[in-house]
A and B are shown apart, each in its own frame.
Chain A
Amino acid sequence: DTAVSQTPKYLVTQMGNDKSIKCEQNLGHDTMYWYKQDSKKFLKIMFSYNNKELIINETVPNRFSPKSPDKAHLNLHINSLELGDSAVYFCASSQWGNNYGYTFGSGTRLTVV
């Protein structure tokens, strides 16, 4: 009964490929996020969706395209992967406007070779 689950856990791929990461939450939250943790372990927001609508899009290359088919799912598709995309990507969820904090998934370690 994992609260926020991401698949795959590990992803190794070649430069130029296209890949997707999936995230699902069973907490009934209405807001989901993608964060990127770089090689220096710094976590930075990429996207935020509330009720399937994009509400935050930080300065992320157009090669990254999130998609939220429903409130419980937020997927991340990455085109034309580059070496610099290697990082750990974390999905998180929260309930908009309440004070119960964020719940994070266990992360997807993406390695581009």
Chain B
Amino acid sequence: AQSVTQLGSHVSVSEGALVLLRCNYSSSVPPYLFWYVQYPNQGLQLLLKYTTGATLVKGINGFEAEFKKSETSFHLTKPSAHMSDAAEYFCAVSKAAGNKLTFGGGTRVLVKP
């Protein structure tokens, strides 16, 4: 079975500071990994994904994530936080050729001016 753990249900950062959201996964087969963002009362939107190839993945809104197989991690970063980054972020994993998409518990980001 696959699972996802997001460390920290809430993260507070100052505007302009580094954003780091941690995600660790377990999967018995090579995983596909995703980060999604959710704004209040809306569905989830894809930020970025890793399937194969380059382990450093760049997404929308200046976010990027690095797949580290040895650490079973897929942490999300952004060098400089913006007020509009305040949202909830979800890491997700699926099997490369499988069906079910499994999400972590989410991390709510608060950006302080």
B and A form one assembly: no
* Residues of chain A having any CB pair with chain B under 8 Å: none
Contact surface of B with A, Cβ cutoff 8 Å:
none
